[in-house]
Structure 1
């Protein structure tokens, strides 16, 4: 694995596989109590959820891609080595990006930094309301993935920040393929909003690892 210094003074890793990213996670000290926090950020449709799931499995956990983003029992099994959280379970709909910090920081990371349990209620996109509660406890690794999760406050508590990007047209195609043609306008507005958020947070430049989401990384 090659590391080199970025202009921002952070270490940037050139990685060729999921295993290499996992090795880099293991090499970092815990920064959230006894937990290594990994933030996987990047534009919508770039492949963050898939990468986070594969990384979790490689690190000894479950993929975290069940209903509501959390397999039954995964979030409450304190013996599990890895927990995966998804920003899609946190946003309050298509306009929810600006309030993501209320969940990530106030309800999850800040309590955990105090040695307490984090918790939040999943957003039900169909009903437009909060649903069941997800409990977040100390693990070997906590992975949070989604657009905007590597905000400045969260980065200060992270062992590793991973940035995933792909071509805009391909990302839009993937998003509409997943969510349906009726969401095209929502996706176009979302792409504008995420660019503004990334510029405000300086996310890409702050990442330790950058991944090309146009192609799948080997294991």
Structure 2
């Protein structure tokens, strides 16, 4: 990546995060007393960068779906884990504790309690699936070729052999869950 495009990438989440935070202004609590914002889109669309910037501005904990997926074939299991370990307990006024998937060991590892805060930001494919628990969903659009280049630049050899496998899971998930159509804010990146 050349210096100009690196600088543009660094500024992008900052400017867009301000827009997202302004958009969240009137959102009501959705999971108990907590407001939950899902940052959604396909792999490589810019979710991680944007969600990190938004969480910083909101003073919110951030849960990355990459930590919940049960490996390269675990998109659906990660979506269920988000609901069962985080969203449902918060909605019921109970502590939420999730377990991180250890990609090297191929199993769930240590537990992480969700800290108290007004907001919780969740990012990743499937973050916007459980509409009843969400205050808002932001969808990021990016062309497939751009997304693939970004994802492989980010994760390189680790991700490359799994790109098509993961994309098929995304296709199946989004065919069943019209998350983009339900998003309150759609951003082209």
Whether the 8 Å contact between 1:112 and 1:138 is mirrored in structure 2 is no
1:58-137 matches, cutoff 5 A: 58-59=57-58, 61=59, 82-137=60-115
Structure 2 equivalent of residue 44 of structure 1 = 43
TM-score, structure 1 as length reference: 0.76
CA shift for structure 1 position 205: 0.3
* Distance across 1 between alignment mates of 2:139 and 2:81: 20
Aligned-partner SS, 2:33: coil
Aligned-partner SS, 1:156: helix
Question: Equivalent of 1:143, from 121, 135, 139?
Answer: 121
Unaligned runs of 5+ in 1: 1-15, 62-81, 214-219
Whether the 8 Å contact between 1:91 and 1:100 is mirrored in structure 2 is yes
Change (3 A) 1:183 1:30: closer
Aligned-partner SS, 2:25: helix
Whether the 8 Å contact between 1:41 and 1:163 is mirrored in structure 2 is yes
* Distance across 2 between alignment mates of 1:87 and 1:108: 12
Unaligned runs of 5+ in 2: 1-14
- Give deviations 1:157-209, integer Å, cap 9, x for gaps: 11110101211111111222222235323111211220221121011100001
- Give deviations 1:65-103, integer Å, cap 9, x for gaps: xxxxxxxxxxxxxxxxx1100000000111001212321
Pair 1:209-2:185 in alignment = yes
Structure 1 equivalent of residue 139 of structure 2 = 163
C-alpha RMSD of matched pairs (Å): 1.5
Structure 2 equivalent of residue 198 of structure 1 = 174
Structure 2 equivalent of residue 185 of structure 1 = 161
Pair 1:20-2:19 in alignment = yes
Stretches (4+) displaced over 4 A: none
Pair 1:173-2:172 in alignment = no
User: Matched residue pairs, number?
Assistant: 175
Aligned-partner SS, 2:61: strand
- Give deviations 1:30-84, integer Å, cap 9, x for gaps: 121211110111101100010001111222x2xxxxxxxxxxxxxxxxxxxx110
* Distance across 1 between alignment mates of 2:175 and 2:116: 31
